[in-house]
Amino acid sequence: MARVDFGAWSRLSLARQFALAGGVVMLVLAGFGGYFVANRIEEVAVRNTANATALYMESFIAPLTQDLADRSDLSEESRLKIGELLADTALGKRVVSFKIWRPGGLLVDASNLEMVGQRFPPTENLKKAWGGEVRADFNDTQDEEDAAEHALGIPLLEIYSPIREIKSGKVIAVAEFYEVATQLKQDLAWARAMGWLTVAGAMALIAASLFAVVLRGSRTIDRQVAALKDMAAGNLALRLRVQGASARFASVNDQALRRIGADLHDGPAQLMGFAALRLDALKGQVSGAAADDLAAVQRAVKDSIVEIRNISRGLSLPDIEHKSLEDILRGVVEAHIARTGTPVEVDFAAVGALPAAVKICCFRFVQEGLNNAWRHAEGHGQAVHLRREGDVLVLSVLDRGPGLAQLPEPVGDDAGLGLAGLTDRVESLGGHIRFGNRDDGPGAELRMELDLRGAA
């Protein structure tokens, strides 16, 4: 069985789709319309001709058949007069044969005298003629009693005309005439041709008018679609440029934070350490209220050193430029294991060379994800998965804890950048974060998908 190619159809313009679909519909409608009009023309023409002929014939035949009101057959005199009427007269030239019927299909008179007295099964037209209708058939001589007329080989109009009693109006017989219909055949052929041409012309005019409207609309839509495609391509290029700029800004920002962290560690932290040493040296040289003030200052200096080191550690980054993403993430995992003492499963697939901004983003993502897994799942079933699907980098941090109904908000010194800031970072690079419960059992999953096309 052949398959319909809907893809090829959808690639056609609206005008062509309308031309094909509308053309088929118009052809079908034209066929039905032409057939209906032609049949109606033939029906009306045959009926009008039959009525005129029946009225004409009845004026001659009815007075000669009135004795059928009282008897079952025609008198010999009536039959002779009817025969004389149709012999060598203008009427006889038009009517090549006649039959006069009684109820039950009995022939009481006919052009072919051999058929007189025979019975034939009543046809539908004969039955309706007994009901008072004038009936007619054009060029249909297939009935049993029509053998002689059919043998003539000429177009005939077969007319059934009820004969009524003059006094009561009761139908006492049915006269059947066979009129030569050569001219009627020509007229019907011409009328059919004109009917078909009229219907076809009207359909063609309607189709052309509608096609012109659809063609104009289709061209407008095509122009708009082309403009939208150009706009979409421009928007994509702009989005990729914005993502690239965001990635470069994030990279520069992280490098600046790294330098700030190093400067804090090497500058203020060292100076505060020197101040703490000097305060320790002065501890034994003061007493009383001064000793209490010195102890307070010493505690503030030591707390400041801890704060500076924590800030410095949070801002510090590994060697991003010269390491692969897999090595960077292994470093994050090892540092987390060393700090928390909880195991972490890793499943890293090769992802190739990546920009510094992407590496930094993944570094922060895994760092934050593991911190959350340790805090909310107590380190149970921690895992980090990394893979690349075409231009999309997929990175997941999972655990086997109780799961969470909503995103947690990190707090405390280990909060790092936080999930909110991490989400902004990922989205600025053209990616998105999804956080929810795992599909393969208890636990939560923090998942990042990053489009690498705009992260160059």
* 49-52: long-range pairs with CB below 8 Å, 24+: 49/136, 49/157, 49/179, 49/181, 49/184, 50/134, 50/135, 50/136, 50/157, 50/159, 51/134
Instruction: Render pLDDT for 357-383 as a digit per residue (tens, 0 to 9).
Output: 888 888 889 988 898 888 888 888 999
Nearest to 434 by CA among 424, 418, 423: 423
Tokens representing 264 are 């804090």
Domain chopping of the chain, boundaries: 11-190, 267-316, 318-454
pLDDT at 397: 94
Burial of residue 195 (number of CB atoms within 10 Å: 0-12, 13-18, 19+): buried
Find out if CATH 3.30.450.20 is the number for domain 11-190: yes
Check pLDDT > 70 for residue 22: yes
Instruction: Render pLDDT for 123-154 as a digit per residue (tens, 0 to 9).
Output: 888 888 888 888 888 777 777 777 777 777 78
Find out if CATH 3.30.465.10 is the number for domain 318-454: no
Check pLDDT > 70 for residue 177: yes
**Collapsing DSSP states into helix, strand and coil, what is residue 397?**
strand
Tokens representing 314 are 């949070």
Question: Higher confidence at residue 329 or residue 167?
Answer: 329
Nearest to 111 by CA among 61, 70, 68, 154: 61
Task: Please measure the distance between the N-terminal and C-terminal CA atoms of the chain and give it in whole angstroms.
Answer: 50
Q: How confident is the model at residue 447 (pLDDT cuts 50, 70, 90)?
A: very high
pTM, whole model, 2 decimals?
0.42
Q: What residues are paired with 177 via a beta bridge?
A: 98, 159
Instruction: Render pLDDT for 298-348 as a digit per residue (tens, 0 to 9).
Output: 777 777 776 666 666 555 566 677 788 898 899 889 988 988 889 999 999
User: How many helices (H) and strands (E) are present in the chain, helices listed first?
Assistant: 12, 10
pLDDT at 415: 40
Query: Region 30-34: what's the mean pLDDT?
Result: 75
Give the range among 5-14, 206-215, 391-400 with minimum mean pLDDT: 5-14
Average pLDDT, the chain: 77
Query: Region 169-190: what's the mean pLDDT?
Result: 82
Check pLDDT > 70 for residue 455: no
Query: Region 34-39: what's the mean pLDDT?
Result: 75
Check pLDDT > 50 for residue 412: no
Nearest to 294 by CA among 304, 286, 302: 286
